[in-house]
Amino acid sequence: MDEQEAITAPGGDQLQKGGGARRRFQRAKHRREPQGDQAGAGPAPVINMAELRELVGLIATHGFTEFELEQEGFRVRLRRELASVQTSAPVGQTGIVAPPPPNSGPVATVEIERERREDEQPEEKLHIITSPIVGTFYRAPSPTAEPYVKVGSHVEPETVVCIIEAMKLMNEIKAEVSGTVEKIYVENAQPVEYGQPLFGIRLD
Amino acid sequence: MELKATILRYESLPSTNTEAANQARRGAPEGLCIVARVQTRGRGRQGRTWASPPGAGLYFSIVLRPRIEARWWPLLSLLGALASRDALREACALVADIKWPNDLLVEERKIGGVLAEVIETELGRACILGIGLNLRDGALPPEIRATATSVERVSGEAPNTETVLQALVRAIADWYGALHAPAGPERICREWEASSSYAFNRRVRATVGSETIEGLTRGLELDGALRLETEDGRIERIYSADIVSLRGVAG
């Protein structure tokens, strides 16, 4: 089994931790559509309160325990402590609001961070290879074969780093940069989302 | 949009997909078809083997260079199944079912399969569409006889490999043209739905790694994902899973 820390992914609008088919299928419904060619795409708008409430509703309805959304210089993280009963969550103005009451039933806590967490600083220099599609991540051509790359492997732009499978179409993913594999964020044969970080590469 | 096919025939290859991929990397044009009478290392997904004894099956791969948006590329996998079904119908008068996304079944046993691989080449991304069809009984080693079948076994007659090949290439060209036409993805999906007993109201279990989800099938999304309605009424979209029919298990 690969290192557990592998799943702490930097950036991206991925959901932290867990994975697993059921949650992934749900996530697929809520992910933002990849932008088409026509999107001249200025900076993404900062989320407003109505959207935040909607998000909280979604995590309550769909049984997420954690949800994280990051846009430029802005991050929302929603976490539900006890998932047995659905609830509408308290939402405040800014900052950290509504600490869970003692002996609380299910509540949602909302953190809004205006800056990146410090523990991500070291990773900011890594080039992140993300998944171009929704599918299953394979590190090797077969379960018994050596992985395409490991932590410490040197990659060139043409180096195949993994396969992503969707509808049984096997997609070779290339590094597209030169550098050294420093992080692998996903375990073999796990589902991945569009845009989800797969590898962190220390560029040459 | 017309696909011009060129067929290269080999007596023996390790794998037609590997050969087609190698030629595509060196710049082979779209439409190059690789056929072998025997594969010594015939393969399926994730290193699974595809039994390929001499002359017992059709072992075929084609190089495609689609000019469609990336999100529609997975439909090539479904297209491979549609074309195979057409070829079996035309050349062998056989009606095959399709299990999501691209297994070909007759009497619930696998008669053919598709291995679709996307690779980078000097001419850009290419899809190698590999198709294996079990034509004669000799295609089935003892260990898969319970779950696989052949044209000869179900129709009592061994088909002419060349006839099946020609029908298959024609069908691929037709569906490939359709995929590139306006509303192409929708046509592929609607045809797939019309061809598969798995498309609607089929109780199935989808397995991804160690996770499973059960539900009733509710057709396809336009990108080929399978829609599954779970017990609590939600629609899940399946992009990547092994599907097992629960008919007979859960009624």
CATH number of the domain residue A165 falls in = 2.40.50.100
Whether the predicted pLDDT of A69 surpasses 70: no
Res B140: pLDDT: 87
- Structural domain harbouring A143: 127-203
Contact A190, A136 (CB under 8 A): yes
Phi, psi of A39 (to 5 degrees): -70, 105
Examine domains B6-195 and B200-245 and report if their fold is the same.
Answer: no
Are residues A197 and A137 both part of a single domain?
yes
Cα A204 to chain centroid, rounded: 25
Number of structural domains in chain A = 2
CB contact (8 A) between residue A21 and residue B206: yes
CB contact (8 A) between residue B213 and residue A168: no
For chain B, which residues make up each domain, given as ranges?
6-195, 200-245
Contact A189, A140 (CB under 8 A): no
Contact A125, B63 (CB under 8 A): no
Is A152 contained in some domain?
Answer: yes
- Cα separation, A57 vs A75, whole angstroms: 18
Is A42 contained in some domain?
Answer: no
Mean pLDDT for A77-89 is 44
How many Cβ atoms are within 10 Å of A39's Cβ, its own excluded?
A: 9
CB contact (8 A) between residue A136 and residue B73: no
pLDDT: which is higher, A75 or A89: A75
Tens digits of per-residue pLDDT, B197-251? 999 999 999 997 778 999 999 999 999 999 999 999 999 999 999 999 997 554 4
A58 backbone φψ class: left, alpha, beta (φ>0; ψ -120 to 50) = alpha
Q: For residue A59, what pLDDT band results from cuts at 50, 70 and 90? A: low
Shortest CB distance from B213 goes to which of A21, A169, A174?
Answer: A21
pLDDT: which is higher, A86 or B73: B73
Q: How far are the Cα atoms of A33, A172, B22, B169 from residue A197, in angstroms, in the given order? A: 17, 16, 29, 39
A160 backbone φψ class: left, alpha, beta (φ>0; ψ -120 to 50) = beta
Give the residues across from B203 on adjacent strands.
Answer: B216
Tens digits of per-residue pLDDT, A93-147? 333 333 333 444 444 444 444 444 444 445 568 999 999 989 999 999 988 999 9
Res B218: pLDDT: 98
Does this model's pTM top 0.80? My answer is: no
CA A133, A135, A136, A142: dihedral to nearest 10 degrees? -80
Q: For residue B87, what pLDDT band results from cuts at 50, 70 and 90? A: very high
Whether the predicted pLDDT of B191 surpasses 80: yes
Is A4 contained in some domain?
Answer: no
CB contact (8 A) between residue A174 and residue B120: yes
Nearest by Cα to B88 from B10, B180, B168? B168
A:149-178 residues touching chain B, CB 8 A cutoff: 158, 165-172, 174
Q: Of the spans A32-36, A50-54, B131-135, which averages the highest pLDDT?
A: B131-135
Is A102 contained in some domain?
Answer: no
Is A40 contained in some domain?
Answer: no
Nearest by Cα to B17 from B60, B48, B47, B51? B60
Is A119 contained in some domain?
Answer: no
Structure ipTM: 0.92
Q: Does A144 touch chain B (CB under 8 A)?
A: yes
Res B47: pLDDT: 84
Is A17 contained in some domain?
Answer: no
CB pairs under 8 A between A and B: 107
Are residues A133 and A196 both part of a single domain?
yes
Q: What is B200-245's CATH number, 3.40.50.300, 3.30.420.10, 2.30.30.100, 3.40.350.10? A: 2.30.30.100
How many Cβ atoms are within 10 Å of B54's Cβ, its own excluded?
A: 13
- Cα separation, B139 vs B150, whole angstroms: 7
Q: For residue A171, what pLDDT band results from cuts at 50, 70 and 90? A: very high
Strands B32-39 and B6-13: parallel
Q: What is B6-195's CATH number, 3.30.930.10, 3.40.50.300, 3.30.70.360, 3.20.20.10? A: 3.30.930.10
- Cα separation, B184 vs B171, whole angstroms: 15
Tokens of A78: 């929603």
Return the beta strands (E) in A157-196 as ranges.
160-166, 169-174, 179-184, 190-192
Is A63 contained in some domain?
Answer: yes
Are residues A134 and A70 both part of a single domain?
no
Whether the predicted pLDDT of A6 surpasses 70: no
pLDDT: which is higher, B147 or A111: B147
Are residues A131 and A199 both part of a single domain?
yes
Mean pLDDT for B115-134 is 96
Query: Residue A9, class by beta-carbon neighbours within 10 Å (0-12 exposed, 13-18 middle, 19+ buried)?
Result: buried
Residues of chain A with Cβ-Cβ distance to B221 below 8 Å are: none
